[in-house]
Chain A
Amino acid sequence: MLVLKLLTIEPMHGWGLSYRLRQISHDVFDVNQGSLYPALQRMLRRGLIRSEWRVSDNNRKARFYEITRQGRQHLSAEISEWERSSGAVNRVLRFV
Chain B
Amino acid sequence: MAWYDELLSGARALFWRRQSDRELAEEMRHHLEMETELNMREGLSRDDARQRAQRDFGSVARYKDDVHDERGASAVEGLLKDAGFAARSLRRQLGFTSLVILTLAFGIGATTTLFAVVKGVLLAPLPYARTDGLAQLWSSWTGFEKTWLSYDEYEAWKTEIPAIEDVGLFTDGAVNLTDGDEPERVRSANVGANVFAVLGVGPLLGRGFTEEEDRLNGAPAAILSHEVWQRRYSGDPAVVGRTIQVNGAGVPVVGVMPAGFKLPLDFGSGAATQVYFPMATDAASEGAIPGPAFQRGGGSHGFYGVARLTRGSTVGMVNAQLADYVAQLVRDNVLSATRNFRAFAVPMDEQITGGVRNAILVLFGATSVVLLIACANVAGLLLVRGERRRRELAIRVALGAQGTRLTRLLFAESALLALAGASSGCVLAWAGIALVRRTAPSTFPRIADVSIEPSLLFFTLAIASMAALLTGILPALQASRVAPAEELKEGSRGATVGGSRLRWRQTLVSAEVALAVLLVVGAGLMIRSVGNLLGIDPGFNPNAVLTMRLSTPSSWYPDSNRVVAFWEDLQNRVNRIPGVTSSGSVLLLPLATEMGDWGLKVEGYTPPPNQGTPGDWQVVTPGYFETLGLRLVSGRVFDARDGMGAPLAMIINRRFAELYLAGRDPLGARVVIGGSPDSLAYTIVGVVDNVRHNALTREVKAQFYAPLAHFARAPGSTRRSMNLVVRTDGDPRALIAPVRNVIRQVDPRLPVSEIRTLDEVVRASIAAPRFAMELLGVFGAIALTLAAIGVFGVVSQVVALRQHEFGIRAALGARPGQLVGLSLRTGVRQVAAGIVLGVAAAVAATRLLGRLLEGVTPTDPVTFAAVVLITAAVALLASALPARRAARAHPGAVLRND
Show the binding face of A for B, using Cβ within 8 Å: 13-16, 18-19, 32-35, 37-39, 41-42, 44-47, 60-63
Contacts and interface: CB of A to CB of B under 8 A. Distances in A.
Interface in B16-61: 23-24, 26-28, 30-31, 33-35, 38, 56-59
Given A15-B30, A61-B26, A63-B26, A38 B1 contact: no
A96 to B, nearest CB: 39
Given A19-B38, A63-B23, A38 B33 contact: no
Interface string B305-323: 0000000000000000000
Contact of A45 (B35, B66, B70): B70
A14 to B, nearest CB: 5
B69 interface: yes
A39 B66 CA distance: 9
Contacts of B6: 45-46
Interface string B373-394: 0000000000000000000000
Contacts of B31: 14-15, 18, 33
Nearest to A44: B9
B67 A37 contact: yes
B640 interface: no
B165 to A, nearest CB: 65
A44 B70 CA distance: 10
Contact of A63 (B30, B33, B58, B63): B30
Given A14-B27, A18-B31, A33-B56, A46 B63 contact: no
20 contacts: A13-B30, A18-B31, A19-B38, A34-B58, A37-B28, A37-B67, A38-B63, A38-B66, A38-B67, A38-B70, A39-B70, A41-B71, A45-B9, A45-B70, A46-B5, A47-B1, A47-B2, A62-B30, A63-B26, A63-B27
A73 to B, nearest CB: 13
Most buried by B among A18, A38, A60: A38
B62 interface: yes
Nearest to A62: B30
Contacts of B72: 45
A40 to B, nearest CB: 8
A37 B27 contact: yes
A46 to B, nearest CB: 7
A37 B63 contact: yes
A49 B291 CA distance: 89
Given A15-B35, A45-B70, A47-B5, A34 B30 contact: no
**A-B pairs with lowest CB-CB distance, top 8:** A15-B34, A41-B70, A15-B31, A38-B66, A38-B70, A34-B63, A34-B58, A42-B70
Given A38-B63, A38-B69, 16 more contacts: A14-B27, A14-B30, A14-B31, A19-B34, A34-B57, A37-B24, A38-B70, A39-B70, A42-B70, A45-B5, A45-B70, A45-B72, A46-B6, A60-B30, A62-B30, A63-B26
Contacts, number: 66
Most buried by A among B26, B38, B67, B71: B67
A39 B69 CA distance: 11
Contacts of B5: 45-47
A34 B67 CA distance: 9
A16 B26 CA distance: 15
Contacts of A44: 9
B408 to A, nearest CB: 21
Contacts of B62: 34
Nearest to B57: A33
Contacts of A47: 1-2, 5
A82 to B, nearest CB: 22
Contacts of B26: 61, 63
Contacts of A13: 27, 30
B30 A61 contact: yes
Contacts of B35: 15, 33
Nearest to A41: B70
Contacts of B27: 13-14, 37, 62-63
B30 to A, nearest CB: 5
Contacts of B69: 38
Interface string B65-91: 011011110000000000000000000
Most buried by B among A35, A45, A63: A45
A63 B9 CA distance: 17
A41 B31 CA distance: 15
Contact of A41 (B2, B28, B38, B67): B67
A35 to B, nearest CB: 7
A15 B57 CA distance: 11
Contacts of A14: 27, 30-31
Contacts of B66: 34-35, 37-38
A60 B479 CA distance: 51
B499 to A, nearest CB: 46
A23 B57 CA distance: 17
A45 B57 contact: no
Contacts of A37: 24, 27-28, 63, 66-67
Contacts of B70: 38-39, 41-42, 45
Contacts of A38: 63, 66-67, 69-70
A14 B36 CA distance: 14
